[in-house]
Amino acid sequence: MLPSIRPATRRLLALSSALVLVSGAIAPVTPAIAQTRPANTTQQGPASVADLAEGLLGAVVNISTSQNVKNEDKAPMPQVPEGSPFQDFFDEFFKGQGQDGNRPRTVNSLGSGFVIDPAGYIVTNNHVIDGADDIEANFADGSKLKAKLIGKDTKTDLALLKVEPKKPLTAVPFGDSRKMRIGDWVMAIGNPFGLGGTVTVGIVSARGRNINAGPYDNFIQTDAAINRGNSGGPLFNMYGEVIGINTAIISPSGGSIGIGFSVPTELAENVIKQLRDFGETRRGWLGVRIQPVTDDIAASLGMERPRGALVAGIITGGPVANGEIKTGDVIIRFDGKDVGEMRDLPRVVAESPVGKAVDVVVIRDGKEQTVKVTLGRLEDSEAAAAAGAEENPTVAPEEGQEQSDENAAPEDPPAVEMPADGRVLGMKLAELDDAARKKYGISEDVEGVVITEVKPGTAAAERRLKAGDVIVEVAQEAMTTPEDVLTRVDSLKSDGRRNALLMIANKTGELRFVTVRME
């Protein structure tokens, strides 16, 4: 039953009616027209999505979770006079505190999900069910079923649940998110703020968004209203196919401001399939360390434009440790898919099956080459790395930490006298001998030319090169002596190059590429 309208509200409504009537003097509306729609009148505004929504609501569920957490609140329980009307309230609210303040308490949360198989498989976000002790799926018809976690993936924030229905459930299919264009209509259905069964409509605002949520960010951005509780719910195209899983919003207030993000099905579908088949993900692994190809790096390599991923290192024991891919290669195409920028490569590799032999197109020595590699499994490499860290813990001294007197380093090794001011590209260099290794703590497996001094204000200083760094290569040629560096730099200048591409190793051997302007 609706509440009665207050007098002030009546006056406001009367004023509003008056405004409508005044506007009617400009565009008069007769009572006959207002009450009857002519038979030949067409619908105004966008086409209705009521039929589409009606067929999809039954496949969208509300996810309710509960978690037992330890109560660490040490605040004393308020003292309420005996017989106070609020005594029952305080007794219930603070039950379990006081003398037994560490008694666990239950925390509930709400989210969304959708059925992808009539047998009872449900997709949602991992953060919706993370840490839950009890998961329940609430359906549009009012029924409720306990859900079991089949598998989850923290890297894409996805999870797969299973319920045991007495009859087949209404399910929705995955669509191809790659076909969605900016401006296409989309519909979100979910459980915002626990309201359940809420339908909102908008468009695809952008594609391929990186919001630093994970290593495979490739979000669809939409202005369809997404709020707290929509997490895990589906984003549909106008054919009733799921093309995204609503995951995050940007909002200073916690409510929708028209900037929501969905995991596209081109990424999610394979993850969900692996969770269903194996209970875990099985991602491809190439075994390389990469960095972006900047404008300067592209110019130093003779590339027309920046593209691809620059290989900065090869993982020992990885799939390409035998030299199929080399440090300094720029990967521009992987298994038939273009690598437009660095962040594209981890995603396309992860989407590829473990053990698959794929063609990789690289730029090496200024020319495109195609090499074939067989992928390993990312999860195996992560497990091995974690086990190695536990078995062989190492503690490296912090940068700038002083050494004790008995371990004091010797004087700087004599730097080779260079022309003019004695520097190359603003740096003084020396051969990497035993004395230099001891002074800077450089690993035995690092080879190259050690930097002993960097002049402030030079191009090398701008690139944050410092004493103790090792120049391994200049323009993809190995360096052994300071004279090698000088000769290679002079050669690049003669060729009209403006930047020199340096492969730099730190004391542990970790590689990176920097471009230094040749003055």
**Residues identified as active-site:** 127, 157, 231
The backbone region for 51, taken as left when phi is positive above 0, alpha when psi lies in -120 to 50, beta otherwise, is alpha
Residues 6 or more apart in contact with residue 12 via CB below 8 angstroms = none
Looking at the DSSP bridge assignments, the partners of residue 361 are 333, 370
SS (H, E, C) 341-387: CCCHHHHHHHCCCCCCEEEEEEEECCEEEEEEEECEEHHHHHHHHHH
Q: Which residue has the tokens 């099956």?
A: 353
Phi, psi of 447 (to 5 degrees): -125, 145
Q: Is the dihedral of CA 437, 438, 443, 444 positive or negative?
A: positive
Nearest Cα to 309, choosing from 361, 372, 379, 367?
A: 361
DSSP letter string, 252-287: SSSS--S-EEEEEHHHHHHHHHHHHHHSS---EE--
Distance between CA 196 and CA 62 in Å, rounded?
6
Distance between CA 358 and CA 381 in Å, rounded?
19
Residues 6 or more apart in contact with residue 358 via CB below 8 angstroms = 334, 335, 352, 372, 373, 374, 375
Eight-state DSSP code of residue 83: T
Position 104: which residue type? P
Token output for 510: 């970790």
Looking at the DSSP bridge assignments, the partners of residue 246 are 262
Nearest Cα to 330, choosing from 293, 374, 285, 296?
A: 293
Residues 6 or more apart in contact with residue 388 via CB below 8 angstroms = none
Asked if residues 376 and 324 have their Cβ atoms less than 8 Å apart, the reply is no
The backbone region for 425, taken as left when phi is positive above 0, alpha when psi lies in -120 to 50, beta otherwise, is left
SS3 (DSSP) at 56? helix
For residues 371, 376, 382, 388, the Cα torsion angle rounded to the nearest 10 degrees is -90
Maximal CA-CA distance, the chain: 103
